[in-house]
């Protein structure tokens, strides 16, 4: 059975594994103060074109989100997020467990707009309510949609006008930046957002996310928050080595491009079969709407999520491609789908 369930089923790119093996016996400082992690942080600053950002490495996205959001907010302050947002739906109440409410905004395409933010701010009028303080978005969203540069600019302006923190979950940031419709560069982000992270777990790393803090007022004593949340790894070099390997050349973007290219094949060929899609997603997540009997047949050979019931006869499934997705498997799925629909 071949899996299209997620983009972290495989281990890590061989270059990363080789780098970890080659550095295995090197004795270095712990807790992210080793030479590899320091070099990785400097390299990312070069790629971002900003020498003044703080960079910290986490083992996973949920840990990165809960540490950052709880560090950035005072006890009475809240998070604004789309109703599909990862922190709201898929993190077991991690943010709420730190004492911060998430204000859910109903959206159709996974994306927040400045109008959404203004409405949330205006609805919370005084000290009898939580105070909206941080806007959480992910790029791409949970539905695979991406933010254009202009859309992110509008969010940035709105957040500044309302004294809100703009935070970007970048678990699949590579896929967003390499999408064909994208006009946003990695180096644009520090100019537009207060903090974001670059996801490695879902783009070829064994594990790891790189947190970039751009706003000076959010940088203070962040490592204390990391330690308290169990995020300061003694063997921090394991994270630094991976990001050093991902960004010393274009490997990070090569892997994201491969995932997107495999998803493009799925989109193109499934569209040719006359199927509709839940959403127009240009990233590595594809959401075709299929008859339930077709889905049941496909599940005999492929692993994927049934994402949403559309009606009594049809559902939307989610197919996710990765840096390691085999093109032969992609074409085989399309071929099997064609046979099932013709039978």
168-184: pLDDT as tens digits: 999 999 999 999 989 99
The pTM of this model reads 0.97
3-state secondary structure (DSSP) of residue 320: strand
Q: In total, how many domains does the chain have?
A: 2
Whether residues 173 and 312 share a domain: the answer is no
Q: What is the pLDDT of residue 343?
A: 83
Whether residues 67 and 157 share a domain: the answer is yes
- The residue out of 191, 217, 251 marking a domain boundary is 251
Q: In what order do the strands lie in the sheet with 131-138?
A: 54-58, 209-213, 195-199, 165-169, 131-138, 77-82, 102-105
C-alpha separations of 157 from 145, 152, 166, 222, 327 in Å: 21, 9, 10, 25, 42
Domain residues for the domain of 280 are 2-6+253-342
Low-confidence ranges of the chain (pLDDT < 50): none
Check which CATH number belongs to the domain holding 60 and give it.
3.40.640.10
Dihedral sign from CA coordinates of 306, 333, 202, 182: negative
Q: What is the pLDDT of residue 295?
A: 98
Asked if 279 contacts 143 with a C-beta cutoff of 8 angstroms, the reply is yes
Phi then psi dihedrals of residue 317, to 5 deg: -110, 160
Whether residues 263 and 172 share a domain: the answer is no
Whether residues 225 and 274 share a domain: the answer is no
- How much helix, strand and coil, in percent to the nearest 5, is found in the chain? 40, 20, 40
Whether residues 103 and 211 share a domain: the answer is yes
Q: Which two tokens stand for residue 105?
A: 């905004």
Whether residues 231 and 294 share a domain: the answer is no
Whether residues 296 and 166 share a domain: the answer is no
Q: What is the pLDDT of residue 79?
A: 98
Q: What is the pLDDT of residue 243?
A: 98
Whether residues 257 and 226 share a domain: the answer is no
Nearest to 109 by CA among 287, 262, 295, 291: 287
**What is the length of the chain?**
343
């Amino acid at each position: 059975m071949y899996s299209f369930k997620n983009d972290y089923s495989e281990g890590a790119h061989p270059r990363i594994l080789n780098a970890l093996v080659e550095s295995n016996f090197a004795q270095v400082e712990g807790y992210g103060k080793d030479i590899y992690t320091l070099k990785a942080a400097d390299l990312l600053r070069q790629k971002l074109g900003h020498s003044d950002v703080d960079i910290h490495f986490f083992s996973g996205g949920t840990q990165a989100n809960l540490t950052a959001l709880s560090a950035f907010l005072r006890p009475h302050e809240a998070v604004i997020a789309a109703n599909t947002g990862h922190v709201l739906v898929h993190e077991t109440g991690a943010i709420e467990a730190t004492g911060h409410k998430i204000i859910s905004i109903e959206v159709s395409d996974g994306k927040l707009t400045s109008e959404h933010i203004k409405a949330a701010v205006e609805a919370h009028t005084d000290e009898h309510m939580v105070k909206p303080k941080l806007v959480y978005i992910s790029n791409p969203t949970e539905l695979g949609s991406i933010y254009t540069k202009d859309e992110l600019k509008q969010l940035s302006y709105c957040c500044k006008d309302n004294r809100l923190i703009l935070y970007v979950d970048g678990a699949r940031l590579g896929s967003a930046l390499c999408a064909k419709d994208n006009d946003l560069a990695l180096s644009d982000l520090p100019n537009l957002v207060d903090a974001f992270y670059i996801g490695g777990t879902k783009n070829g790393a064994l594990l790891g996310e790189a947190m970039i803090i751009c706003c000076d007022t959010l940088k203070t004593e962040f490592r204390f928050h990391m330690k308290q949340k169990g995020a300061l790894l003694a063997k921090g070099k394991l994270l630094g080595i991976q990001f050093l390997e991902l960004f010393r050349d274009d490997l990070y973007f090569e892997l994201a491009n491969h995932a997107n290219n495999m998803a493009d094949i799925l989109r193109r060929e499934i569209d040719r079969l006359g199927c509709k899609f839940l959403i127009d997603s240009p990233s590595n997540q594809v959401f075709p709407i299929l008859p339930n009997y077709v889905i049941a047949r496909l599940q005999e050979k492929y692993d994927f999520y049934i994402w949403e019931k559309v009606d009594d006869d049809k559902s939307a499934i989610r197919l996710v491609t990765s840096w390691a997705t085999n093109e032969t498997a992609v074409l085989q799925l399309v071929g099997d789908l064609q046979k099932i629909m013709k039978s």
